[in-house]
Chain A
Amino acid sequence: MASAILEARELRKSFGALAATDGVSLELREGETHAIIGPNGAGKTTLISQLAGNLRPDSGQIRFAGEDVTHLSAPARAHKGFARSFQITSIYRDFSALDNVALAVQAHAGHSFRFWKAAHEERMLRDPARAMLEEVGLGARADVRAANLAHGEQRQLEVAMALATRPRLLLLDEPVAGMGLEESQRMVQFLRGLKGKRTIILVEHDMDAVFTLADRVSVLVYGRILASGTPAEMRANPEVRRAYLGEEA
């Protein structure tokens, strides 16, 4: 497909005898939201880590915008336009919310061998960071230490950091995990606002979130893609229902 922005071919990754990723191929078109679902231990996070560059696949190839990125490190991929959130919230806990996002802006504003001028006074870092916090609904919390934010706010902050890098591909690993109902609805609403504007890979357990957000869904079981299609197709697929949704077909 000519418009595929991300193409993973036959990815394999084993930990000892365990094949965590066992020949996964994926294709994403620009602007698409692709959800990956599957039972615990299916290898979802392992797969996302390979896509983001935190793990090297044993074999297979990842192409991004026509370029082979299989051997690029995570920071190098970030500069190609990858951004990820982690399953376990990963933020700078001892920095303010604003500092967190400003760092993400800084990472994409040229090199940082600038030793003298106070980063806090650089409007080209602070202004976009503040705007991004407003966008995710954390505007009023900009000066709060990230560790003191509520869990849901920390997840929002992580998404804000990812977006602040102006990514072409957003890899979200369970963005609503551990959130209360209201928080999680707000996050889903927010992500829905990104639909069509961003290309997103979404790993999620929350089926409401998946069926609201995804254009396509892939079901991962034991490191393999069991089935792939629209949310409606997946819901109707008897094999998927048996393997994952836990129902007798």
Chain B
Amino acid sequence: MRARTLILGACVLLLLAAPPLATWIGQPYYIELLRRVMIFAIAAVSLNLILGYGGLVSFGHAAYLGVGGYSVGILAFYGIHNGWLQWAVAILASALVAFAIGAISVRTRGIYFIMITLAFTQMLYYLGISVEEYGGDDGMRLKVKSQFSGLVDLADPVTFYYLVLVLLLGCMYVVHRVVHSRFGMVIRAAKSNEARSRAIGFSPYPYQLAAFVIAGSMCGLAGALLANHTAYIAPAFMDWTRSGEIMFMVILGGMATAPGPALGAFALLVVEDLLAGWTQHWQVIVGPLLVLCVLFFKRGLAGLLPGGKDG
């Protein structure tokens, strides 16, 4: 357990040291890359709550990236640049959408659940395409980044980087607390053996729905960050392949582990970036790599760490 703590601590230190290092070696691009990775890590951390711990295989998690992103974009479009408000709206709107999707989908199981979550996300995707006012298929630019009363300046890449890092660690901490609480025990128990849960008196539905809403709102925050990161919002945020990528980060990193989703996001996006610089057919290489990872690291990358049993 100590070796594991040391390794994870070293990872955090590296992330803290990354911006000065990147500037020092004259590659500020890495700040951008790592920021993007960490934003997706937040999305993966949120998905892990329902997929890893709750056993709800949501194939539509990118929906909340879109809802969060468009919340920021649409408010900015009407000249509202207040970040506190924008991000609060992003989180609340995502929570509402998650509540609506969850209220229907969480009643179903297995393949039906996967298909319903996918279908709702596709609906949102086509909604994004069809609304011409907000750019339709092409999306829209975010001309002014979210403003935080002069406290945090997102236009400064390094400040923005550290904000994302803090939020990522915060989200990981929140999920860690939640899954070990009474609430977390209920959703993990329902994943483990639903018949047993019902027999001892738990109705899993309201708890699973609440977990679905928490995960959705956390991913909505990632959406707000992503909109500011790319300074651009497009329906592509909600593409089903995006949902698949987030899901893959969780599985690759290690489902139901605290560091897994973040590790998965780093592994997937950094490898993708390295290969993309080398060949435009990088997907041909990433695909088989992923298959090999799933075959050989059954507990994900987090399972490779010493003391891999997550407590």
Residues of A that sit less than 8 Å from B by CB: 52, 54, 73-76, 78-79, 83-84, 86, 90-95, 99, 102-104, 106-108, 112-120, 122, 125, 161-162, 165
Contact = CB atoms under 8 A, between A and B. Distances in A.
Interface in B189-219: 189, 192-193, 195-203, 207, 210
Nearest to A109: B182
Contacts of B80: none
B196 A113 contact: no
B198 A75 contact: yes
A53 to B, nearest CB: 8
Given A112-B186, A115-B177, A122-B182, A78 B193 contact: no
A120 B180 contact: yes
B189 A92 contact: yes
Main secondary structure of the interface of B (DSSP, over half): helix
Contacts of A118: 177, 180-181
Contacts of B196: 86, 90-92, 161
Instruction: Give the residue among B180, B184, B200 with the most A Cβ atoms within 10 A.
Output: B200
Contact of B200 (A95, A116, A120, A165): A165
A83 B192 contact: no
A75 B181 contact: no
B178 interface: yes
- How many chain B residues sit at the interface, stated as a range, is 20 to 34
B193 A52 contact: no
Contacts of A103: 185-186, 189, 197, 200, 202
B183 interface: yes
A88 to B, nearest CB: 10
B185 A119 contact: yes
A161 B203 contact: no
Contacts of B189: 92, 95, 103
Contact of B199 (A84, A116, A119): A84
Contacts of A52: 199
B48 to A, nearest CB: 16
A73 B183 contact: no
B193 A91 contact: yes
B184 A104 contact: no
21 contacts: A76-B203, A78-B201, A79-B201, A83-B200, A92-B189, A92-B193, A93-B192, A102-B185, A104-B200, A106-B185, A106-B186, A112-B182, A112-B183, A114-B181, A114-B182, A114-B183, A115-B183, A116-B181, A118-B177, A119-B182, A119-B184
Given A93-B192, A94-B192, A95-B189, A115 B181 contact: yes
A108 B196 CA distance: 14
Contacts of B181: 114-119
Given A90-B193, A116-B181, 7 more contacts: A102-B185, A107-B201, A112-B207, A115-B181, A115-B184, A118-B177, A119-B182
Interface of B: 177-178, 180-186, 188-189, 192-193, 195-203, 207, 210
Given A73-B203, A93-B193, A115 B198 contact: no
Contacts of A78: 198-201
Contacts of B199: 52, 54, 74, 78, 83-84, 86, 90
A-B CB proximity, top 3 nearest = A78-B201, A107-B201, A114-B182
Nearest to B193: A92
A30 B193 CA distance: 31
A169 B202 CA distance: 17
B180 A75 contact: no
A113 B185 CA distance: 11
Contacts of A119: 180-182, 184-185
B195 A112 contact: no
A130 to B, nearest CB: 16
A91 B196 CA distance: 6
Contact of B202 (A75, A84, A117): A75
Contacts of A86: 195-196, 199
A122 B181 CA distance: 10
A54 B198 CA distance: 9
A83 B210 CA distance: 26
A79 B178 CA distance: 25
Contacts of A91: 193, 196
Nearest to A74: B198
A73 B197 CA distance: 12
A108 to B, nearest CB: 6
Contacts of A120: 180
Contacts of B178: 115-116
